[in-house]
């Protein structure tokens, strides 16, 4: 009698536990994806329900390079975000379908899982939600979201992978999650600077070491905004690109006057590979960026007080450039796991 009760009790507990976590249980065909984070990187936050698995990431990668997502099947995420350039674009304003132009420079994509929000004005809170923007933007893929999903769902391979990865039919949920999963695997942290930082003192030459010291100095205060392991504090700042901005930046999403003409501080990892620069792609080369900061920038009322004439010597400029060049991670830009 007692034994039966215990048995039923255990069954109930098992049943409760099983329903409690059944949704996220992985099919035996799928396996957790091991994210190999570089030394010194904190754990990457991953949303509940979209834990990284091999199939989720694989599906996300296929979708990232699938032109079928755009209305006329000519543009994929990978059209504007090129791996050779740390998933940024080589022109100031990328072309969407039919050569249409938006208003902003395509930013590089790496270490995205650490970002507290997305876009230059920070209006989107998650990678999953970010996917809605390019698909529907008239100047990018210009597609109707349900139609895009419907077309992609015709692909039997996607259907099969959706069932293994998310235990459901291919739909908007699967599309946004899988892209988010793949994007979280785009981790970059093996530049010459990182090797130096991890004890290989010969990884940086003397000029780059002087550049690093300048970068971190109070006089230049680059690391005041571009600080931390990902070289950004994700704050919104104005770095004095012009007296009047055509694009008003963060105020577009907050309507707070203090946010006018402010843009998210970008990471400087891989920066030598991501020209042209700034939200509008208005500065063509890194040397010109250094000249910009050296000049103190234009007289914009919102300009941060740290952007002021620096009086850098020619040697200092080339040291700073040498350091910025040492932030390139070629293992990342040539990693076959991220290639089309």
Partner 1 sequence: MKSIINNLSLLLFAFVAIVSTTSCEKDHDHDGTGHMHIYFNNRYGLTEALDTNAVKTGTNNRDFRINKVQYYVSNVRLVGHDGNEVPFSGEYLLVKTNGVNELEMEELPTGHYTQLKFDVGVDSVTNHGDPSLLDAESDLSPTNNSGMFWSWNSGYIFFMAEGLVDTNATPNGTVDGPWIFHVGTDSYLSTVSIDIDKQVSEGSHPNINVYLNTAALFSNVDLGGADVITMTMNNMDLATRVKTNYSSAFTAE
Enzyme catalytic residues: 140
User: In terms of Cα–Cα distance, which of 102, 188, 165 is closest to 137?
Assistant: 102
For residues 110 and 274, the answer to whether their CB atoms sit within 8 Å is: no
Q: 236-237 and 263-264: which strand pairing?
A: antiparallel
- H-type helices in 153-236, by residue range? 156-166, 172-184, 192-197, 206-216, 222-225
Shortest Cβ distance from residue 174 to ligand HEC (Å)? 13
12 is an interface residue for partner 1 by CB under 8 A = yes
Q: Which is nearer to partner 1, 175 or 290 (CB)?
A: 175
Shortest Cβ distance from residue 124 to partner 1 (Å)? 5
Selected from 237, 260, 269, 317, the binder of ligand HEC by CB under 6 A is 237
User: Could you tell which of partner 1, ligand HEC, none binds residue 29, using a CB distance below 5 to 8 A set by kind?
Assistant: none
The rounded distance, in Å, linking the Cα atoms of 285 and 292 is 11
Q: Which is nearer to ligand HEC, 166 or 236 (CB)?
A: 236
The rounded distance, in Å, linking the Cα atoms of 298 and 251 is 20
User: In terms of Cα–Cα distance, which of 287, 286, 308, 291 is closest to 240?
Assistant: 308
Shortest Cβ distance from residue 19 to ligand HEC (Å)? 33
171 is an interface residue for partner 1 by CB under 8 A = yes
Q: Scan for tokens 């597609």, then name that residue.
A: 143
Q: Which is nearer to ligand HEC, 9 or 309 (CB)?
A: 309
Q: Scan for tokens 């059209």, then name that residue.
A: 79
* Nearby residues of 33 by Cβ (< 8 Å), 6 or more positions away: 52, 53, 54, 56, 57, 181, 185
Shortest Cβ distance from residue 310 to ligand HEC (Å)? 7
Point out which residues bind ligand HEC (CB under 6 A). Answer: 69, 75, 77, 79-81, 94, 96, 102, 104, 106-107, 109, 112, 115, 118-120, 127, 130-131, 134-135, 140-141, 179, 183, 220-222, 224-226, 237, 239, 241, 263, 265-266, 268, 271, 274, 277-279, 289, 293, 304, 306-307, 320
Point out which residues bind partner 1 (CB under 8 A). Answer: 2, 5-6, 8-10, 12-13, 47, 49, 119, 121, 123-126, 128-129, 131-133, 136-137, 144-146, 149, 171-173, 176-177, 251-255
């Amino acid at each position: 009698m007692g034994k039966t009760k215990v048995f039923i009790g255990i069954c109930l507990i098992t049943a409760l536990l099983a329903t409690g976590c059944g949704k996220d249980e992985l099919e035996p065909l799928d396996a957790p994806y091991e994210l190999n984070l570089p030394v010194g990187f904190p754990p990457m936050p991953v949303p509940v329900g979209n834990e990284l698995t091999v199939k989720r990431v694989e599906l996300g990668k296929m979708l990232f390079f699938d032109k079928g997502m755009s209305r006329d099947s000519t543009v994929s995420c990978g059209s504007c975000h090129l791996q050779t350039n740390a998933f940024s674009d080589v022109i100031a304003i990328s072309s969407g379908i039919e050569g249409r132009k938006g208003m902003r420079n395509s930013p590089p994509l790496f270490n995205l899982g650490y970002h507290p929000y997305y876009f230059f004005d920070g209006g989107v809170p998650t990678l999953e939600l970010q996917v809605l923007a390019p698909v529907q933007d008239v100047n990018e893929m210009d597609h109707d979201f349900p139609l895009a999903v419907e077309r992609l769902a015709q692909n039997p391979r996607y259907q099969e992978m959706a069932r293994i990865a998310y235990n459901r039919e291919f739909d908007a949920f699967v599309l946004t999650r899988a892209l988010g999963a793949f994007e979280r695997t785009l981790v970059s942290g093996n530049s010459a600077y990182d090797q130096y930082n991890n004890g290989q003192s010969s990884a940086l030459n003397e000029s780059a070491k002087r550049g690093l010291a300048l970068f971190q100095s109070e006089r230049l205060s680059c690391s005041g905004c571009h600080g931390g392991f990902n070289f950004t504090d994700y704050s919104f700042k104005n770095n004095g690109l012009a007296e009047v901005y055509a694009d008003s930046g963060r105020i577009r999403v907050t309507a707070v006057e203090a946010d006018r003409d402010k843009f998210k501080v970008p990471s400087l990892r891989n920066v030598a590979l991501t020209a042209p620069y700034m939200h509008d792609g208005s500065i063509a080369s890194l040397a010109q960026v250094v000249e910009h900061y050296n000049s103190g920038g234009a007289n914009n009322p919102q300009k941060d007080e740290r952007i002021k004439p620096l009086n850098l010597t020619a040697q200092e400029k080339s040291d700073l450039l040498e350091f910025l060049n040492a932030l390139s991670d070629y293992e990342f830009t040539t990693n076959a796991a991220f290639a089309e």
